[in-house]
Amino acid sequence: MIIGGNEDRTDNKDVLQKFVELAGGLDSPIIVTTAASTVPEDVWEMYRIAFDALGATDVTHVRIDSRADADDDMLALKLAQARGIFMTGGDQKRLMAFIGGTKMDRAMRMAYLENGACIAGTSAGASGMCTHMLAEGKADLAPEKGAVRLGAGLGYVTRVIIDQHFSQRHRLNRLLSVIAQSPFLLGAGIDEDTALIVKDNAIEVAGTGGVTVVDCRNAVTTIADIARGEVPQMQDVRLHLLPSGSRFTSPAAGGALADFIQYLTDRT
């Protein structure tokens, strides 16, 4: 469950309610980790209140302030047994620096791959789900060569770059910048209070916004011939807009969307 950030935590809480459902219901063990945040207790308090209002009865905060914290055996056992694991926002570089390659990382993967747990990430937690993570950078007025830096993520999503707060922060140019330079990847820009749900061989968009898919695999660009910071010429770029309520399965979607689903659901 990949969330574009700033999901509603005070009113209907539709995205969080969907997460609880996917995690198995109100009595299922849920872990909230604030590893990406520099104000973990403040962030946890917001989610504690929200999940309590939804009626979830077994929600635990995991605060990670170092790699040593993430290498704890008892923590790994608890995570492996969770039915839902929720990564909050903050800084995706901090998230990866603290948990990447640790026992916590491996336990989360075990919970997901072997026990069918729902892994959710919002904002920085969403970016961190990728194998190729959008680490930092911006391109405000137009796509720019070298405007964005990639880093290694947790690897739940292969061959798809996730960007968040997408429409609200006008990040299309940023996503175009990175996909033009790495055309074997597809881009997914997720709006705030919106979740891209990946389950089996299907995807669903929930919340109040949409998901924008950027495909440069057949595009013709000048990205290789220009200097860093210059704007590339780009032709035949494909964009797909998936509003809330969109549902697609891999065989039925066809074309680029079928590939998008395959990349998202590939667990290898």
Instruction: Report the alpha-carbon distance of residue 78 to residue 70 in Å, rounded.
Output: 12
Q: Which two tokens stand for residue 261?
A: 């689903």
Is 192 among the residues known to form the active site?
yes
Of residues 118, 210, 124, 205, the one with CA closest to residue 163: 124
Token readout for 190 is 């997720």
Per the residue annotation, which of 192, 204, 240, 250 is the catalytic one?
192
The DSSP symbol for 191 reads -
Catalytic residue (one of 127, 132, 144, 165): 165
Active-site choice (28, 37, 123, 250): 123
| Cβ–Cβ under 8 Å, residues 37 and 67 | no
For residues 13-24, one letter each, b for 16 or more C-beta atoms within 10 angstroms of the residue's C-beta and e for the rest, the string is bbbbbbbbebbb
Whether 240 is a known active-site residue: answer no
Alpha carbon distance 207, 3 (integer Å)? 9
Q: Known catalytic residues?
A: 123, 165, 192
